[in-house]
Structure 1
Amino acid sequence: MALFIMIIRKMINNKWLVLSLFFGILMTVALVGTMPIYSEAILSRMLVKDLETFQKERNLYPGQHWSLISFGNEDAGKRTSTIDAMDRYIKQEAGPSFGVPVKEIVQELRTKSFRVYTEYDPDKKNAPTAAIRAYSDLDAHIKLLDGRLPADKPVNGVYEVMLTEQALIRFGIVLDQVLTLKDNSIQGTVKIKPVGMLTKKEDDDPYFRNASLSDLGASFVVDDGLFENEFIRGGTIPVAASGWYVLLDYTKMGLRNVNDFLATDKAIRDEAKKKVPVFQAEFTAPSIPVIEKYFERSKQLGKLMWSLNVPVLIMLGFYMFMVSNLIIDRQKNEIAVLRSRGAARWQVVASFAIEVLLLCAAAWLIGPFLGMWLTKVLGASNGFLEFVQRSSMTVRINEQAYLYGGIAAGASFLMMLVPVLLATRVSIVGHKQQLARMQKTPFWHKTFLDVLALATAFYGLYSFRNRLKALQSLGLGEDDLRLDPLQFVMPALFVVGAGLLILRLYPLMLKLIYWAGRKWWSPSLYASLIQVGRSSGQYQFLMIFLIMTIAIGVFSAGAARTININMEERTRYAIGADVVLQSQWPNDKPPPAPPGFGPPDPAEAAKASAPVHYLEPSFEPFRNLTGVEDAAKVFVKKDASFSADSKLGTITLLGIDTDDFGRTAWFPDHLLNYPLYDYLNLIAADPRGVLISKTLAEQRSVKVGDTISIGWENVDYQPFVVFAIIDYFPTFNPNPPLGTATSAGGKLNAPPMLVVGNLNRIQFQLALEPYQVWLKLKPGAGSQELYESFQEQKIPLTSIVNAREELAKVKSDPFLLALNGILTLGFMISIAVSFVGFLLYWILSLKGRTLQNGIMRAIGVSLRKLIGMLAMEQLLTSGAAVLIGVLIGNLASRLFVPNFQIAFNPGSLVPPFKVIFEAIDFVRLYSVVAFMLALGLGILSYMLSRIRVHQALKLGED
């Protein structure tokens, strides 16, 4: 107890150092804790969004789970017991165990199919077949188009049923007409009477597995109570199957409960297979493929988050090591005295271990809550230091947050005991000897850690570039080669190595500055150079700390801006314009043959294979759409053919009106040797002229001035003249398509080829076929007004691609959100920790030099000059570190930011990935750093002004 009280008192006496150390531990635990919290939150949001997209595209409710058991030759008792047992299991055990709120559980019951006869024609040979079905709680989800609801009991021995309009037409009957069911499995005669025609009450009601009710086209529906009493219990008609349709609220689905969903799905399958043979069971859960994809995305996102946070974690490690060193330095004399008076090393280490353990335990308890708040900051980031009002993510503290936080706290605990272990090795005599001697050469200096770190970083860069070249040349995706997280650690190694290397040379630079102006320096500047030059070793921790902070900030700014702009340019380039439309064209193409019919006769086949003639609709309505600034016709033929000197090939042919296209298409200026409009002007002067891609020129040895012939199926080839060769063109990707690395023969597939020609000539000499309409919107024009204009103009569209909507999807991608959020959060933490470390270091340094500063004042140095000396010291140390950090950060960005493209399918990255810096990012960065330095200098100047000369001199006497 006495030891504990002593530790608490010691912590109170060093409260500012202890609080600074606690701050570093807390930020480390919180940062590590954000990883599982953010991964779960962002992937849960994206899972729900993907399920919503699945529902829109497939018109299938994704929160459903369907299980069906069928019966063969089982007796009636066995069928009844099986249905009852499975019904209890689904409703009482399986439903609650999905981990997602259950909206409804629908039981579907079916009989086998029977021949249906009318009273007027009981012996009809080709009588249609039909089954009887029942659904639980059906009445609440249907409305009657005609008739009434059937009775829940037989009426005069006749079972009343409902059916859909489709079934009514199929059977060729009317309501209230009595029908007879006949089958060998039915004893006696079963009569039914349709009394109502049903349809859905709400079109988007997920109660119905089949949205169109087409599965009821050959069925009659009875009351579920009647089905159970008469068919299941009574055995009047054999029951063929029973199914359970579980409706789940998929909007509440997240990564925390998908394992429960999958486990329950497996449990239902196993339970059903215990009761019936495997071939008599059927299961459907359309969300499972989407869920399984997210397990892999979760792993990838985890790797990415760890990799991106490595530089910040290294910086936090430096911070805690620096602060713990400051604490130990202040107590080395005390430690040496305790050791000289008989205290064992373990006793001294134990006292410090208890102190650090208290801090780590407190940080472990608080850190996850701070991490949850930081996660919300991550979710609101839209770029580097940019925040938007985005719908809040569902954030919760999970078990992994405390697990990761505990590991981080444990690592911090072990790291901070290292200075204590080193200090306890020194006796009081050795401690006084060290104080009298000059500082030793740093460990990293003697072991050349700076050179080792740089060599490792450059090897990683070389390895990455080789991988990237393979990805792009073979048309592979990012999953085809293993994503090495160490590729993202390389920037941190480069920053540390480059910073340490410059610090190795920094004392020589100071000597050079001192020697160059030794005859002209003022006394204050002379004193500052002497102070920094002779004590450069003690500043190195602070300088490498600031270098890392600023370099990581510059790297974060460059990485975030580069990734955001490259992803935006990639999306806009792939689309080609703000909006791309495809309208319906009247034509004479014969309709497809109905399914189930045999092959057409030769005359019909010839008619179907004949060329299709199209009628071009008016183009003016597109120009008059609300918010449209320019519009262009763009004909795209992806399977066109060409010949050049007996060399054949398949190309993508683009036909354009050069003037309209130049004003409408989006294209960056840096991709071609000359502006795009120069190339468009070339072919505008001569309708025979075409532009060809570099891939075509290289693969078929075609050069400018050559003639090539172009055509396609049922279209005669026509000659064109090559006017220019281009590397890129809107929508054209010269890289091999993803997933086509090799052909069937094992050879590399050739990159795609492109030809761009005049639309008028293509339409006149080749064929008139539907073209796309590209639109450029006016600044500030909204998409909703444009869509409303389509309806007003009554323009029939078959497809529409909106670049703004696609960009919104890109920015909602979990990887891009993670990149923006983590880079922003990393920089904010770096600046906060840097400010605390910077201020703490200089305050302690100033306190340690109280006697020196008092003497300077006593011999006549004014406060102004003393503050000037302090400012010069900061300029030579902190200022130099900031400048070095900016240079290293820029260099690291240019070398290592391209590494990030490996996470975004580099084979499809067109335009090519490039490093981008914008002035606004550096304004933000430098503003924060300048504020930090100015505030620190202000606080230090205030402390300097409070020094009393007589107190300082008295301190010296003591």
Structure 2
Amino acid sequence: MALFVMIIRKMVQNKWLVASLFIGLVMSVALVSSMPIYSEAVLSRMLVKDLETMQTKKNVYPGSQYSKLFFTKETPEQMNKIFTKVDRYIHNQASASFQIPVQELVTDFQSKTLKIRLENDTETNRNKALKSVSLHSFSELEEHIQLTDGRMPAEQPVDGVYEVLVTERALIQYKTVLDAVFVIDDTKIAGEIKFKPVGVFGKKQDDDPYFRDSDLSELSNSFVISDKLAKQHLLQESRIPLASVGWFFVLDYSKLELRYVDDFIQTTYKIHNSMLNNVTTYQAVSETPALETIATYLERAEQLRTLMWSLNVPVLIMLGFYMFMVSNLIADRQKNEIAVLRSRGAARWQVITSYAVEGILLCGIACAVGPLLGVVLTEVLGASNGFLEFVQRVRLPVRLTSESYRYGAIAAVACFVIMLIPIIIATRVTIVGHKQQLARLLKSPLWHKMFLDVIALALAIYGLYTFRKRLADLQSLGLNADDLNIDPLQFVVPALFIMGAGLLLLRLYPWVLRIVYWIGKKWWPPSVYATLIQVGRSSTQYQFLMIFLIMTIATGVFSASAARTINNNTEDRIRYGNGAEIVLSSQWVNDAPPPPPPGAPVQEQTTPTQTVVHYLEPAFEPFKTLKGVQNAAKVFTKEEASFSVNDGNGAATLMGIDTDEFGETTWFRDSLLDYPINDYLNLLASDSQAVLISRTLADQQKVKPGDTIWVGWSDVPQQPFKVYGIIDYFPTFNPNPAIGSVDVSDEETASNAPMLIVAHLPRVQVQLALEPYDVWIKLKPEATTADFYEGIKESELPVTSIVNTREELVQAKNDPFLMALNGILTLGFVLSILVSFIGFLLYWVLSLRGRTLQNGILRAIGLSLKQLIGMLAVEQLLTSGVAVLIGILVGNVASLLYVPNFQIAFNPSSLVPPFKVMFDSGDLMRIYVLVGFMLTFGLGILAYMLSRLRIHQAIKLGED
């Protein structure tokens, strides 16, 4: 107990140091514990978004699961036993195992196909009179339908007649009316069974997921009976032969979270496997549309986890360094006390134990509080719309999990070890050794003696080399990022480079100070002269602060650059892939024969048709005059156009353009080519025979400017063109091999990259053929998409498809994958600035307190407060200011070298235009403003402390 009281008193005496240490502990634990919280929340949001996209594109409800049994030769007793067994399992176990709300559980029965005829049919030909029908029933059908005619059928046969419901299509299919009686005329049925349609029904809601068949087309040859009748007469009594029974789950997929994915998948398989294991006299099918999307999602989830760790590692290393710096400051302040205890007989383990108890107390509190703060961080990051941009959006499904506490505990243990390292080192020194160390301020720090800067830079350069090599393989071979193993060192190399470069520059900094001192030693005023001597002779004591500031500022710059690069490259990729803001396709009048009607006999479908289709070009002017249009261009694209050149031939994409209109309409990043794209378009415009070819074509076919290339396609004879230029990139053209298109063992396909030929559209239309082209449109800056769509509607243009780049850019911003990156990078940037400010202020406050005697003597010998503050300002400029400048420099260099590593989280083969590191002036301005505020605010506090200094107190302190 006495030891505990002593530790509490010691913590109170050093409350500012302990508070700073505790802040670092809580931030470290919160950041680490927020990683599983944030990843689960974002991945859950991403899964729901993926399922919503699937529903939109495929018109299939993702939250459905359908299992069906087909009966063949089972007896009624066997069918009853099978149904009871499976139905009990599905209702009692499977429905709860999905872990998400079950909106509907539909049981449907279907009879075998039966032959029926109208009771009073006058048709003498039996084959013409007979029609096929199957009986269907659905549980709780009444709640999901509405009658369009007639009434609901009775629950039991009326006068021996089964009353049924039909759809509008079925009524037309059987060419009948309500209340007409049908009789079964089938050898499978013994005795007479009659049916009477009494009602026509439709869906109560068009988007009701209750119906597997969205348009009810499967019921066009069916009668629908009540669920009660089906169980009694189809299943239990077998009056009508039963063909199948199915169970259809309608699940609320919007509640599907990452933690439930395994349960969802396993339950799906368990339903099917349970049927197969328990019953052997039937066949079973199972349909779960979401499984394919979930499989793709799991791949994206793994990519996101990888990227989250790679982005967080530099921040974690920075926080670890902060913890070490604060712990070292505590150890430095108490080295005298530790040395005295050691000299008076205290064992090392006793001293270390007292500090370990303090560390356990702080780490325990941080471990309890950190995950709660991690939840708050996740909530804030969920609102990120870009780097340092926040909007109001639907909150993430944030949940505090045991995994977050496990991560937090690991972080707390790591912090505890970091805290004890300076104490362990300090306990090795006796009182004599401590006094000797105080007198040897010029000794080299440990990291310089061990050449940690050189080692860190060597590892960082190795990581950069291996990544660049792997990336080249990925792009040249058309591979996925998962096809090559990534060295785990890739996660650490940016931080290693920042640390190594910072330490290397600090190794050179004392020499720079000596040069500065020597250059101006005849002109420096006393305050600058004294400061240069102070910093030059005591450079070791400043290096901890300087490397700390370098790491934090460089990490902030790196986070800002990574965020802007990923965001801007995502937007550039969308713009480049589409070519323009709007891409329209329209219907062209042509003489192509109409397609054969559905259900036509085979011989009618195989009649010869003409091979050449002639088109009539629609008017182009209406597209240029649409509401909101600034420029419009015709762009003809022909995939797999054939070419011949230099005794070789092949297939390439042919683009036909009008150079002036194309240059005014398209989007293109000029840095992709040796010259601006308009220079190439002007070169193309100089000759109607001129073409531009891709470098892939030039390299594979050994083509150079001036060569003649013959171009055509199927049923269109090749015509000569002249090569005027070679281009690496062109709007919409991806020169990288498609994923999976390259066989490394085949030398021919290993060099088979996509090729492009760009020609004049008028010459293509006259010399080759007139075929439909797309219309590329650039909207006015103030124009809205809604106005543009309204203009299309008013003009009644025969538009068949629209590609809207603006909408795709909005969707990209709302993509949870990008949202997660922006959130993580924003957090890294904010923490870097916050930690650097706390560390800066803490160091200088403690430093000033430690130099109270020295400052008192300077005041006593005649230096004014203004001169003393000036000395402090110069000292800050030579230490903190230089460290900030080095941090910005190192951060920019690290960004240029290592931000391209993040493209490994995407498919590098699809990254066109290439990944380009980008810096935003607004982000750099934020850094400059925050750093400037930090230095100014810190200097103000230090100046205030100096103004409160009393000379007689300082001298008295020195005498003590």
TM-score range (shorter-chain normalised) is: over 0.9
Alignment of 1:529-548 (within 5 A): 529-548=532-551
Partners of 2:706 and 2:724 within 8 A in 1: yes
Pick from 744, 762, 765 the counterpart of residue 764 of structure 2.
Answer: 762
- 1:378 Cα deviation from its structure 2 partner: 2.5
Among 928, 947, 950, the residue aligned to 1:948: 950
The Cα of 1:438 is off from its aligned counterpart by 4.1
> Match for residue 922 of structure 1?
924
> 1:118 touches 1:180 (CA, 8 Å); kept in 2?
yes
Output one character per residue of 1:709-745: Cα deviation in whole Å (capped at 9) or x when no partner. 2221122222222232222221112222222122894
Cα displacement (A) at 1:567:
1.9
Query: Aligned ranges for residues 149-164 of structure 1 at < 5 Å?
Result: 149-164=152-167
Alignment correspondent of 2:880: 878
User: Counterparts of 1:674-685 in structure 2 under 5 Å?
Assistant: 674-685=675-686
CA contact (8 A) 1:112 1:238 kept: yes
Q: In the TM superposition, what is the alpha-carbon distance from 1:749 to its structure 2 partner?
A: 4.4
> Any idea what SS the aligned residue of 1:629 has?
strand
Alpha-carbon distance between aligned partners in 1 of 2:158 and 2:799, rounded to the nearest angstrom: 53
Take 1:804 and 1:113, find their aligned partners in 2: how far apart are those partners? 52
SS of match in other structure, 1:461: helix
Partner of 2:53: 53
Contact 1:578–1:775 (8 Å) recurs in 2: yes
CA contact (8 A) 1:36 1:400 kept: yes
Counterpart of 1:373 in structure 2 is: 376
Question: How many angstroms apart in 2 are the aligned matches of 1:363 and 1:588?
Answer: 77
Shift of residue 108, structure 1, vs aligned partner: 0.8
The percent identity for this pair of structures is 61
Equivalent residues of 1:160, 1:194 under 8 A apart: yes
Say yes or no: does 1:808 pair with 2:785. Answer: no
CA contact (8 A) 1:303 1:485 kept: no
Work out which of the residue numbers 542, 550, 555 in structure 1 matches 2:553.
Answer: 550
Moved more, 737-746 or 817-826: 737-746
Q: Taking structure 1 as reference, are residues 913 and 202 closer, same or farther at Cα in structure 2, changes over 3 Å only?
A: same
Deviations 1:89-143 (A, max 9, x none): 3223221221111111111111222122333359824633321110011112112
Question: Residues 673 and 728 of structure 2 are in contact (CA less than 8 Å); yes or no, is this contact kept in structure 1?
Answer: yes
What displacement does 1:185 show? 4.3
Q: Aligned partner of 1:203: which letter?
A: D
- Structure 1 residue 278: deviation in Å? 8.3
Structure 1 residue 726 corresponds to structure 2 residue 724? no
Which residue of structure 1 lines up, in the alignment, with residue 94 of structure 2? 94
Residue pair 1:364, 1:402 contacting (<8 A) in 2 also: yes
**Residues 498-513 of structure 1 aligned to structure 2 (within 5 Å):** 498-513=501-516
Q: Matches of 2:701 and 2:919 in 1, distance apart?
A: 39
Residues 344-493 of structure 1 correspond to what in structure 2 (within 5 A)? 344-438=347-441, 440-493=443-496
Letter in 2 for 1:27: M
Give the equivalent residue in structure 1 for 2:822.
820
Which segment drifts farther, 467-476 or 718-727? 718-727
DSSP-derived class of the 1:610 partner = coil
Aligned-residue offset at 1:208? 0.4
User: What is the DSSP-based 3-state SS (H/G/I as helix, E as strand, rest coil) of the residue aligned with 2:483?
Assistant: coil
Check conservation: 1:69, 1:276, Cα contact below 8 A.
Answer: no
User: Match of 1:135?
Assistant: 138
Task: Quote the Cα distance in structure 2 between the aligned partners of 1:320 and 1:686.
Answer: 68
Give the partner amino acid of 1:92.
N
What residue number does 1:774 align with? 776
The answer as to 2:856 corresponding to 1:866 is: no
Residue by residue over 1:603-636, the C-alpha shift from the partner in whole angstroms, topping out at 9 and shown as x without a partner, is x5431x4211222222222222221111111111
| CA-CA distance at 1:321 after TM superposition | 0.8
Change (3 A) 1:687 1:489: same
Find the residue that maps to 2:214 and give its secondary structure: coil
Distance 1:292 1:706 in 2: 49
Q: 1:275 to 1:789 in 2, by over 3 A?
A: farther
Does the Cα contact within 8 Å between 2:442 and 2:539 map onto a contact in 1? no
Alpha carbons 1:740, 1:749 under 8 Å: kept: no
Could you tell me which amino acid in structure 1 is paired with residue 928 of structure 2?
A: Y
> What is the CA-CA distance between 1:232 and the residue it aligns to?
2.5
Code of the aligned partner of 1:316? L
Measured after TM superposition, the shift of residue 528 of structure 1 is 0.8
Other-structure match for 1:664: 665
Shift of residue 697, structure 1, vs aligned partner: 2.2
TM-score normalized with structure 1 length: 0.96
The aligned residue for residue 848 of structure 1 is 850
Distance 2:469 2:232 in 1: 72
The reply on whether 1:248 has 2:227 as its aligned counterpart is no
> Aligned partners of 2:329, 2:678: CA distance in 1, in Å?
64
Asked if structure 2 preserves the Cα contact closer than 8 Å seen for 1:655 and 1:756, the reply is yes
Cα deviations by residue, 1:918-949 (Å, 9 ceiling, x for unpaired): 32221111111111111111101100111101
Report the Cα distance in structure 2 between the residues aligned to 1:6 and 1:128, rounded to whole angstroms: 97
Mark the runs of 5 or more structure 2 residues left unpaired by the alignment.
none
Query: 2 CA distance for matches of 1:512 and 1:678?
Result: 50
Letter in 1 for 2:23: F
Deviation at 1:184, TM superposition (A): 4.4
TM norm structure 2: 0.96
Matched, 1:213 2:199: no
Query: Could you tell me whether the CA contact under 8 Å between 1:742 and 1:749 is conserved in 2?
Result: no
Q: Are residues 442 and 817 of structure 1, via their aligned partners in 2, closer, same or farther at CA, if it must alter by over 3 Å? A: same
Paired with 1:645 and 1:812, the residues of 2 have a C-alpha distance of: 49
Aligned residue identity for 1:70: F
SS in 2 for 1:483: coil
Change (3 A) 1:671 1:431: closer
The equivalences for 1:83-122 within 5 A come to 83-119=83-119, 120=121
Match of 1:290?
A: 293
Alignment match, 1:70? 70
CA contact (8 A) 1:378 1:822 kept: yes
Which residue type is aligned with residue 271 of structure 1? S
Shift in alpha-carbon separation, 1:134–1:415, aligned structure 2, 3 A:
same
CA deviation profile, 1:672-699 (whole Å, cap 9, x unmatched): 3333233323333433222222222222
- Give the letter aligned to residue 62 of structure 1: P
- Residue deviations 1:404-446 (CA, integer Å, cap 9, x gap): 1111011111111112222223333433443344464322111
Displacement of 1:76: 1.5
Aligned residue for 2:616, secondary structure, equals coil
What is the match of residue 638 of structure 1? 639
Q: Give unmatched runs, 5+ long, in structure 1.
A: none
**CA RMSD, 1 decimal:** 2.1
Does residue 238 of the first structure (1) align with residue 241 of the second (2)?
yes
Matches within 5 A, 1:558-707: 558-593=561-596, 599-600=602-603, 605-607=607-609, 609-707=610-708
Separation in structure 2 between the aligned mates of residue 599 and residue 177 of structure 1, nearest angstrom: 36
Displacement, 1:45? 1.3
**1:34–1:401 contact (8 Å) kept in structure 2:** yes
Deviations, residues 54-104 of structure 1 (Å, cap 9, x unaligned): 111111111111111222322222322332333333223221221111111
Q: Is the 8 A contact 1:307 1:485 kept in 2?
A: no
CA drift of 1:168 comes to 2.7
Q: Quick check: 1:71–1:276 contact (8 Å CA) kept in 2?
A: no
Alignment partner for residue 499 of structure 2, among 496, 515, 539? 496
- Asked if the contact 2:442–2:537 (Cα under 8 Å) also holds between the matched residues in 1, the reply is no
Residue 894 (structure 1) aligned to one of 892, 896, 911:
896
Which one of the candidate residues 796, 799, 803 is aligned to 1:797? 799
Tell me the alpha carbon deviations over residues 750-797 of structure 1, each in whole angstroms, 9 at most, x when there is no partner.
112211222222222222211101110110221122222222222232
Question: Matched residue of 2:126: which SS?
Answer: coil
Q: CA deviation at 1:645?
A: 4.0
SS state at 1:256 partner: helix
CA shift in 2, pair 1:295/1:683, >3 Å: closer
**Partners in 1 of 2:271 and 2:281 — Cα distance?**
13
Amino acid at match of 1:343: A
Distance 2:718 2:608 in 1: 22
SS at structure 1 position matched to 2:396: coil
